[in-house]
Chain A
Amino acid sequence: MTGGEKLARGIIILGAALVVSFGWALIAGHARVPIRGIFSEQYAGLVRIRAARALLGIIVGAGLSVSGVILQGVLRNPLADPYVLGVSSGAGVGAALAMLAGLAALGAWVVPGAAFFGAVLAILLVYLLAREGKAVPVYTLLLAGVIVNSVAGSFLIFLVHTTIARGEGLHSVMWWLLGSLQVLEPGRVIAAGVAVGLGVLITLFFTRDLNVLSIGEEPAAHLGLRVERTKKLLFVVASLVTGAAVAASGLIGFVGLIVPHGVRLVVGPDNKVLVPLSALAGAVFLVVADIIARTILPAGELPIGVITAFLGGPFFLYLLRRQRRGGVQ
């Protein structure tokens, strides 16, 4: 099967899955909406809330997945992911600082913008900490990510507690650390949609570059790639997308790891196929994860990050083991 056929088949299957999961998201919940009730006046309010929530799931799922594909490709590290590397925490610090400074009122783009800067700083910090000469060794990168993640995470909790102590906390610690697709500010969903849409679109133009980077930076340069420029641009795109996702939904972990590797298992490593299908699969994954989070408890809901971490943590360990057994570093 050629790349084009794989892509076409994947889009049909995942597109159908997205439609089904979106429909399921509208009817599932502690208050069930009958299928016929989706378009009726009676359930309109509930359906609207759930639709907005599923839409946010699509945006965040697609964004975090594509961000994972970018980081894995540019860092040449299969275990890279915005959450694992502390990029999400960095974005969280940026967003929280903007909220704390009272800048959120200035416009829907301010908090995502601040999150973007936090994400850029975190990526730069991890990259510079982990780089040894021209290489970024797999385990050094993970270690740098763990450290940046825990420092940024602690700072984030400090900021959130400060706002709560002042009685003006916009979100709870739980919201920040485990994420939620509950739509609190519609403006931020729109901002996230625009940023993720733009980020995914740009990435689609760089799939060949991501492929070529996998054989190393110097060989890629010999094939005519402007390596430094491409890397910078893709880091910016990953930060933009992660920042927008975090500003709208907090820190939802492991999506950028589970989804791209799941898709790779089926379609292989070609980024021309991987990027669009990971965006779609990520959207489906997060919509379904949110349905589980909303319905698994007899009452109330579980933070969505619990579901993704519960699936993602063991998957990460499985990948780590396969990586070691493969003996490739």
Chain B
Amino acid sequence: MNALEIRDVTCGYGDEPVIRGVTLEVRRGEFLGILGPNGSGKTTLIRAVTGLLEPMGGEVLIEGADVRRLRPREIARRVACVMQDTAIAPAIGNLAFSVREIVGMGRTPYLSRTGWATDEDHRAVADAMQLAEVEHLADRAITELSGGERQRAFIAMALAQGCDTVMLDEPTNHLDIAHQIGILDLFARLNEREGTTVVGIFHDLNLAAEYCERVVLLKDGRLAKSGSPAEVFTAEVIRSVYGAEVTVGTSPSSGRPHVFVGRG
């Protein structure tokens, strides 16, 4: 059974479709990159998978189950999302939630309306904080953290959901290169050791080439190209999808394709 099956999905806002007839299968344990120009429908695709948007046509299956038949809580136990910049409610001074409390929110899909967290929840939170390396920040207010630390806290929250599939919506945007690598290494480890399926939206072609087994390119809401980074990242494909002139070489360390920008 595939982790995700997206079958001929058309989806958008109001009557206006943003993605049209996208079909995509994500194998269990795969590390998949979704790329494409701004407005090509990458985030809309994530929202269709997690049930935030109802498709106008087609269907989405998560581990074989139709998203329309799953309750939001059930979806949240199967797929976790890390957003590019999670907003925090404006707090007065430092009266914001602590990192531990934010990570604890990842257990929401398992908790009843009135009950307190159980030992199992506490363990899941502790494990998630260890994986995301935010244990030392556990008691700090979320509003006091730097951008990179904050993103790690939200990653820990998503890990605490205990899902087999994690979707990333440009989680390393706005972060410096050390944080970018650190965070993607974390998901690569999770993918290798736990077999977690990772589906990530990338802006940076080279980061995608380095970390993804397979990449798909979206253009104008349609699937333009799918394959290994070496198959997809060629000068012709980049020109036809992005309309940009690049040369493609090879990374000396990993042997994966590397896109070089040429001046126009």
Using CB atoms and an 8 Å cutoff, list the residues of chain A in contact with chain B: 2-4, 73, 76-78, 138, 204-206, 208, 211-216, 218-219, 221-226, 261, 264-265, 268-270, 272, 319, 322-323, 326, 328-329
Q: Which of B80, B91, B101, B161 has the most CB of A within 10 A?
A: B91
User: CB within 8 A of B92: which of A213, A226, A261?
Assistant: A261
Q: Are A222 and B105 in contact (CB under 8 A)?
A: no
Given contacts A2-B116, A205-B113, A270-B101, 5 further A-B contacts (CB under 8 A): A222-B76, A226-B72, A261-B92, A268-B97, A270-B97
Q: Are B161 and A223 in contact (CB under 8 A)?
A: yes
CB-CB under 8 A from B173, the residues of chain A are none
Q: Are B52 and A323 in contact (CB under 8 A)?
A: no
Residue of A nearest to B108 (CB): A223
A-B pairs under 8 A by CB, number? 103
CB-CB under 8 A from A73, the residues of chain B are 89
Residue of A nearest to B90 (CB): A328
Q: Are A328 and B86 in contact (CB under 8 A)?
A: no
Question: Closest approach, in angstroms, between the C-beta of A289 and any C-beta of chain B?
Answer: 22
Task: Decide if B262 is an interface residue (CB 8 Å cutoff).
Answer: no
CA distance A214 to B97 in the complex (A): 9
CA distance A224 to B95 in the complex (A): 25
Task: Decide if B178 is an interface residue (CB 8 Å cutoff).
Answer: no
CA distance A23 to B75 in the complex (A): 52
* Contact A269 to B116, CB < 8 A, known contacts A225-B72, A328-B143: no
Question: Closest approach, in angstroms, between the C-beta of B140 and any C-beta of chain A?
Answer: 13
Interface size classification for chain B: 35 or more
User: CB within 8 A of B108: which of A3, A205, A216, A225?
Assistant: A225
Q: Are B90 and A78 in contact (CB under 8 A)?
A: yes
CA distance A4 to B122 in the complex (A): 14
Q: Are B95 and A264 in contact (CB under 8 A)?
A: yes
CB-CB under 8 A from A225, the residues of chain B are 72, 108
CA distance A213 to B87 in the complex (A): 10
Task: Decide if B230 is an interface residue (CB 8 Å cutoff).
Answer: no
Task: Decide if B50 is an interface residue (CB 8 Å cutoff).
Answer: yes
CB-CB under 8 A from A222, the residues of chain B are 50, 52, 76, 80-81, 83
Question: Closest approach, in angstroms, between the C-beta of B72 and any C-beta of chain A?
Answer: 4
Provide a sorted-by-A list of 25 A–B residue pairs whose CB atoms are within 8 angstroms. A3-B116, A77-B90, A78-B89, A78-B91, A138-B90, A204-B114, A205-B113, A211-B105, A214-B89, A215-B102, A218-B52, A219-B81, A219-B83, A219-B154, A222-B81, A224-B74, A224-B75, A264-B95, A269-B91, A272-B116, A322-B92, A323-B92, A326-B90, A326-B91, A326-B93
Q: Are B92 and A264 in contact (CB under 8 A)?
A: yes
Question: Closest approach, in angstroms, between the C-beta of A288 and any C-beta of chain B?
Answer: 23
Cβ contacts B50-78/A at 8 Å (1 or 0 each): 10100000000000000000011111110
CB-CB under 8 A from A216, the residues of chain B are 86-89
Q: Are B92 and A329 in contact (CB under 8 A)?
A: no
Task: Decide if B17 is an interface residue (CB 8 Å cutoff).
Answer: no
A-contacting residues, B102-131, CB 8 Å: 102, 105-106, 108-109, 111, 113-114, 116
Q: Are B83 and A269 in contact (CB under 8 A)?
A: no
Question: Closest approach, in angstroms, between the C-beta of A304 and any C-beta of chain B?
Answer: 26
Residue of A nearest to B74 (CB): A224
CB-CB under 8 A from A329, the residues of chain B are 90
Task: Decide if B96 is an interface residue (CB 8 Å cutoff).
Answer: yes
CB-CB under 8 A from B50, the residues of chain A are 221-222
CA distance A76 to B76 in the complex (A): 23
* CB-CB nearest 10 A-B residue pairs: A224-B76, A224-B73, A214-B89, A76-B89, A224-B109, A222-B81, A223-B108, A216-B87, A224-B72, A328-B90
CB-CB under 8 A from B91, the residues of chain A are 78, 269, 326, 328
Question: Closest approach, in angstroms, between the C-beta of A77 and any C-beta of chain B?
Answer: 7
Cβ contacts B23-64/A at 8 Å (1 or 0 each): 000000000000000000000000000101000000000000
CA distance A3 to B115 in the complex (A): 11
CA distance A78 to B95 in the complex (A): 11
A-contacting residues, B199-223, CB 8 Å: none
CB-CB under 8 A from B95, the residues of chain A are 264-265, 268-269
User: CB within 8 A of A326: which of B77, B92, B105?
Assistant: B92
Residue of A nearest to B105 (CB): A212
CB-CB under 8 A from B76, the residues of chain A are 222-224
Question: Closest approach, in angstroms, between the C-beta of B38 and any C-beta of chain A?
Answer: 17
Q: Are B90 and A323 in contact (CB under 8 A)?
A: yes
Question: Closest approach, in angstroms, between the C-beta of B126 and any C-beta of chain A?
Answer: 15
* Contact A223 to B105, CB < 8 A, known contacts A78-B91, A78-B92: yes
CB-CB under 8 A from B111, the residues of chain A are 208
* Contact A215 to B105, CB < 8 A, known contacts A208-B113, A328-B143: yes
Q: Which of A211, A215, A216, A264 has the most CB of B within 10 A?
A: A215
Q: Which of B50, B81, B90, B105 has the most CB of A within 10 A?
A: B90
Q: Are A215 and B106 in contact (CB under 8 A)?
A: no
User: CB within 8 A of A269: which of B72, B74, B77, B97?
Assistant: B97
CA distance A261 to B154 in the complex (A): 26
CA distance A328 to B83 in the complex (A): 19
CB-CB under 8 A from B74, the residues of chain A are 224
CB-CB under 8 A from B105, the residues of chain A are 211-212, 215, 223
CB-CB under 8 A from B92, the residues of chain A are 78, 261, 264, 319, 322-323, 326
CA distance A138 to B96 in the complex (A): 16
